Amino acid sequence: MTIEDPELLAEFVIESQEHLAEVESELLTLEAQPDRVDTALVNKVFRAVHSIKGAAGFFGQQTLETLAHRGEEVLNRLRNNEIRPTHQVISTLLAATDRLKGLLDNIEDSNNEDVSEHVIALEKLLKNEADGQPSQQTPVSESQTTADQEPCDAAKSTTSKSLNQKTQQSSNVLPRIRASGIGEEALRDFLIESCDNLEQIERDLVSFEDDPTSESLVNSIFRSMHTIKGSAGFLAFNNLERLAHACETLLGKIRLGERQLESSICNLLFATVDSMQKCLQRIEQDGQEGCFMDDNLIEHLLAACESGYDAGAGREGDFTDDKVIDPMLAACEPGCNVGGAGKKESDLLAVNECRELQSDASLFAPRADQPVDSAKSTAVQNSSADETQVKSAADSTIRVDVALLDKLMTRVGELVLARNQIMQFTSSLGDSELLNTSQRLNLITTELQEGVMKTRMQPIGNVWSKFPRIVRDLSSTCGKQVRIEMHGKDTELDKTIIEAIKDPLTHLVRNSVDHGIETPSDRVKMGKPAEGCLRLRAFHEGGQVNIEISDDGAGLNPAKLKAKARDRNLITAEQAEQMQDHEANQLIFLPGFSTAERVSNVSGRGVGMDVVKTNIEKIGGMVDIQSQVGRGTTIKIKIPLTLAIIPALTITNDGNRFAIPQVNLLELVRLDGEDAQSGIEWIQGAPVHRLRGRLLPLVYLRKLLQTGDDRDEVAEAINIVVLRADDRQFGLVVDRINDTEEIVVKALSKQLKAIPVYSGTTIMGDGKVALILDVLGLAYESNVISKERDRSLPEASPFNADASIDQQSLLILGTSDGQRLALPISQVARLEQIPKTSVERANNQEVVQYRSEILPLIRLAKFLGLKSHEDPDDPQLNVVVYTEDARSVGLVVDRIIDIVKTTLEVSCQSRHQGLLGSAVIQERVTDVVDLPAVIRQLDVPNQAAVCLN
């Protein structure tokens, strides 16, 4: 009996793969605690394997079935504590799981595959452990196996005794499940699944009535019923299980053609479905299936299996539809306490008789398993107390095709574009009503966009779930002991990004185990615990997702890295000398770099860290590495939440508009008037700009894109977009900076993919197309980063790198009477020139409007009690902007002299408020300003927090 429906088969494969994914992680958990076998967990695994087995048999996948069956037997022993979850046992089981996966991947051909190796290995486990144990299989597995494999045979032999046996077995399982607390979730899943299944059965039954010869329909019904049976048994809903079992038996007969689907049987089946639905409702409401009896129905079902049973047969003289269904419904009424075991069919008469039956039944002694029932049901009741308010569980989730979501996402993208267009249109029209409407459109679009994005979000745990297995296998191959810890599994990412980071993350995890963590003996020598720890952490921060992979292994050895890089001519000896440790660590991202002394079968085979880096950068992410010798290595990855809609800066150059992703943007610098000429200096033809004392290489977009002639015309103002690519900064000189905007990224067409400076296209608010610049590509093309050489050398630094640790950069200010003041530059956010006319007063304090906030101004010289001779002809004020905790303060100074990097030694303490003391800087005595003290003095933060709107 095989099923040819490819859709069903595909569903089976997906479902089984999901099951196996769970099995894997659970087996690992079992192995981690060999002394205390978590029965609930074993049961979970058992159940998963069991469903695979059942379904496989149903689909005629004998190979799969055989393998799953053996696995199930081993698990059964495990469950009965006849086998310990030793390394060997778990390994064998894992290997079998892998094989099952392999078979599933190639389902068409699976029957021709050879699994004897695994079957033998599993059987060996059974034999070894069976010494001293009863050599027979336990009743449970036997009866279940037969029931699954040959439903008709089992049906014949199914007596009330075997039913009871099963019932007892499963009710033993139950308290253990409840006690371990998997109850709530499992219950919920069960309810959703079973409701789905029942609905399916109902639909199939209707079609089946019209087409009683359809094999696929009866198979589908059988399968759904079987699933319900399995789950019900597992969760110890005994009545439900027995009912399902009886029904399955009947279905088995029908399937084999031994019974015809007459209307009476059909009605019986419908009645069963109804009864089950009621039962599920009760379970959902109060966590117990209720103790009404389905025995009548069951006996009917069993009787129907016999060839003699039909509507006209004497045994069922007055058996009609209503009479079956009505008593069922009546029995399902809340409060109904029918416990009549062993009632005869003849009791099933008319509705009023059934009412009598109810009252009779209350006299019956509680059934044997009832105490158990009520004991566990209290547990369930607690856990499901809040569920009663929630909508019916089955209604709360649906499965959606990913293609549909993708399509939806595209549409939303288009809606965002249309919204942008309308917003632009509206602002030019100035109609207030239109404005209101478009504001609402704006709001709804944003919410819709967020909602749709959310549907595509998946927890990163989906990728991580396979890591414990990888780590386990790897560490045993390498002879290491590694524990894996995962934090932030629920952190969500767009599906496309999840796909994209899967391989890089796997590589990093492998690397950490293979190269990072030392062998137990080495670790003990170092005074570390023998077991190494690999920690995965994920969290959201600033619209990005951070992923950290850290190990407490040997760490990277900068000296070794440098030597290796020199050997391979990746860097020069001189570079190596100047390189700091942090930079040396970055060397591992170079193409063709591997420190592994020997190539193991695990890593070091070429697909290196450079690929990891490239792949992560491809999706707009960044990788950083931190390491301490002997302490471990941490790799930090930052990736955007989504790729589809991103904030971007739009600029114009030679009449062309371009978008620059905001993630790459550091700041915008505008050089006006005189600065436009003096602000750009040249080093042998390479333009640079001094940005806070550091040389920022400049790239002219015009030259790079070859859109204009190489004219050095004197512009009124120069706009520099400061960008970050890799660890470098560079300034992109553009004609005009427009605005920031949410843009919908569309892929480049095939003709344009080869151009490195573009990463995509988008449609702007006015409906025109704009190209998205690829900042990394720009950096490569303009040689800010060179392709062959080191990608990791530091930004060109005019200072001696070696001593830089003790040094700090100081901003040197001059007062008009020639006194010099110094300010640590790390405290300075920006240097600004503000027109005097824009100074306003608020709260008895000079303020200016600055970036749509109120910036309080402090006249530094005045504050320090120094004489200040402001140049009355200068229309500008020099303002040093200091930012802390998102609050800014502006210090008005007379003159900015220089920025120097020096070792700060404050020699004589100052008694003056706001000064730290004096130091000799550039051979001149300079007062060092205590900036925090200045700000405290004014208690400005309170005022500065007010926002302009």
Please report, to the nearest 10 degrees, the dihedral formed by the alpha carbons of residues 559, 563, 569, 570 taken in order.
-20
Burial 539-578 (b: 16+ CB within 10 A, else e): eeeeebbbbbbbbbbbbbbbeebbebbeeeebbeeebbee
Alpha helices in 385-531 (DSSP H): 393-396, 402-429, 432-455, 461-464, 467-478, 495-511, 520-525
Asked if residue 746 binds another protein (CB under 8 A), the reply is: yes
703 is an interface residue for another protein by CB under 8 A? no
User: Half-sphere exposure of residue 423, counting CA atoms within 13 Å on the CB side?
Assistant: 17
CB-CB contact of 147 with 247 (8 Å): no
Comparison of 421 and 918: residue with beta carbon closer to another protein: 421
User: Residue 208 or 758: which CB sits closer to another protein?
Assistant: 758
Shortest distance, CB of residue 723 to another protein, whole angstroms? 18
- 73 and 141 in contact (C-beta within 8 Å)? yes
The yes or no reply on residue 656 touching another protein (CB under 8 A) is: yes
Alpha-carbon separation of residue 53 from 68, 462, 574, 586, 796 (angstroms): 5, 25, 65, 50, 64
Q: Which of 391, 399, 598, 750 lies at the binding interface for another protein (CB under 8 A)?
A: 750
Residue 132 has phi, psi (to 5 degrees) of 80, -5
Count residues binding another protein (CB under 8 A).
24
Cross-strand pairs, 474: none
Interacting span for another protein (CB under 8 A) from 428-436, 488-496, 500-508, 749-757: 749-757
State yes or no: residue 441 binds another protein (CB under 8 A). no
Tokens matching residue 881: 């902007």
Stretch of residues binding another protein (CB under 8 A), selected from 62-70, 716-724, 748-756, 904-912: 748-756
CA 322 – CA 931 distance, rounded (Å): 89
Whose Cβ is closer to another protein: residue 330's or residue 408's?
A: 408
How big is the chain by its Cα radius of gyration, in Å? 37
Strand 887-893, strand 853-859: pairing:
parallel
Which of 524, 599, 752, 933 lies at the binding interface for another protein (CB under 8 A)? 752
User: Contacts with another protein in 116-155 (CB under 8 A)?
Assistant: none
287 or 661: CB nearest another protein: 661
Report the residue number, 175 or 708, with the smaller CB distance to another protein.
708
Nearer to another protein, 529 or 767 (CB): 767
The stretch near another protein (CB under 8 A) out of 141-149, 280-288, 701-709, 724-732 is: 701-709
Which of 707, 797, 843, 849 contacts another protein by CB under 8 A?
Answer: 707
Binding mask 399-418 for another protein (x = CB under 8 A): ---------------x--x-
Q: How far is the CB of 443 from another protein (least distance, A)?
A: 22
**Strand boundaries in 521-583, DSSP class E:** 532-541, 544-551
Window of 151-159, 163-171, 316-324, 752-760 that interacts with another protein by CB under 8 A: 752-760
Would you count residue 587 as binding another protein (CB under 8 A)?
Answer: no
Cβ proximity to another protein: between 177 and 770 the closer is 770
Nearer to another protein (CB atom), residue 418 or residue 478? 418
Q: How many CB atoms within 10 Å of residue 206?
A: 12
Given candidates 112, 428, 706, 844, which one binds another protein under the rule CB under 8 A? 706
For the bound state, the minimum distance from the C-beta of residue 668 to another protein, rounded and expressed in Å, comes to 22
Residues 765-784 that bind another protein (CB under 8 A): 767-771
Question: Using CB under 8 A, which of 37, 329, 422, 755 touches another protein?
Answer: 755
Take residue 575 and report the two structure tokens written for it.
């570079």
Helix axes 215-234, 160-180, angle to 10 degrees: 60
List 403, 573, 714, 754, residue binding another protein (CB under 8 A):
754
> What's the closest the beta carbon of residue 661 comes to another protein, in angstroms?
17
Cβ at position 658, least distance to another protein in Å: 9
Select from 52-60, 761-769, 795-803, 913-921 the region that touches another protein (CB under 8 A): 761-769
Q: If we measure between CA atoms, which residue out of 33, 384, 370, 18 comes closest to residue 178?
A: 384
Among 761, 815, 878, 902, binds another protein (CB under 8 A): 761
Fill in the per-residue mask, 40 to 79: x = in contact with another protein (CB under 8 A), - = not in contact.
----------------------------------------
Tokens of 736: 């005009």
Instruction: Please check whether residue 190 is in contact with residue 229, taking contact to mean a CB–CB distance below 8 angstroms.
Output: no
Choosing from 119, 298, 549, 757, the residue that interacts with another protein (CB under 8 A) is: 757
> Residue 780 Cβ, how far from another protein at the closest point, in Å?
13
Contact between 877 and 858 under an 8 Å Cβ cutoff? The reply is: no
CB of 762 to another protein, least distance (A): 8
**Residue 736 CB, nearest approach to another protein (Å):** 16
| Concatenated DSSP letters of 877-906 | EEEEEEEETTEEEEEEESEEEEEEEE----
Find the part of the chain contacting another protein (CB under 8 A) among 74-82, 193-201, 454-462, 704-712.
Answer: 704-712
**Cβ neighbours of 399 (radius 10 Å):** 6
Q: Are 54 and 226 in contact (CB under 8 A)?
A: yes
445 beta partners? none
Listed residue (281, 33, 28, 44) closest to 181, CA to CA: 44
Min dist. Cβ of residue 688 to another protein (A): 24
Nearer to another protein, 449 or 809 (CB): 449
Nearer to another protein, 556 or 770 (CB): 770
- Please report how close the Cβ of residue 731 comes to another protein at its closest, in angstroms: 19
480 and 576 Cβ atoms separated by less than 8 Å: no
Cα 95 from Cα 89, distance rounded (Å): 10
The string of DSSP codes covering 922-933 is TTEEEEEE-HHH
The beta strand positions in 686-778, using DSSP E, are: 686-691, 694-700, 717-725, 728-734, 736-744, 758-763, 769-773
Q: Of the ranges 284-292, 579-587, 709-717, 764-772, which one interacts with another protein (CB under 8 A)?
A: 764-772
DSSP 139-156: HHHHHHHHHHH-HHHHHH
Q: What is the sign of the dihedral through the CA atoms of 492, 21, 139 and 189?
A: positive
Nearer to another protein, 768 or 911 (CB): 768
The DSSP string of 79-106 is HTTSS---HHHHHHHHHHHHHHHHHHHT
Residue 116: CB atoms within 10 A of its CB come to 12
Pairing of strands 622-628, 728-734: unpaired
Residue 519 tokens, joined: 């062998």
Nearer to another protein, 754 or 947 (CB): 754
Q: Is residue 889 near another protein by the rule CB under 8 A?
A: no
Residue 705 found at the interface with another protein (CB under 8 A): yes
Question: Of the two residues 219 and 653, which places its CB atom closer to another protein in the complex?
Answer: 653
**Paired tokens of 642:** 């989504």
Q: What's the closest the beta carbon of residue 730 comes to another protein, in angstroms?
A: 18
Q: Could you give the string, one character per residue 601-640, with x where binding to another protein holds by CB under 8 A and - elsewhere?
A: ----------------------------------------
Instruction: Write down the least CB distance from residue 766 to another protein, Å.
Output: 10
> Which of 273, 332, 725, 763 is in the footprint of another protein by CB under 8 A?
763
Residue 611 or 755 with smaller CB distance to another protein: 755
Closer to another protein at the Cβ: 31 or 774? 774
Q: CA torsion angle for 66, 68, 70, 71 (degrees, to 10)?
A: 160
- Residues 538, 486: Cα–Cα separation, whole Å: 8
The residues of the shown chain that bind another protein, judged by CB under 8 A, are: 414, 417, 655-657, 705-707, 746, 749-752, 754-755, 757-758, 761, 763, 767-771
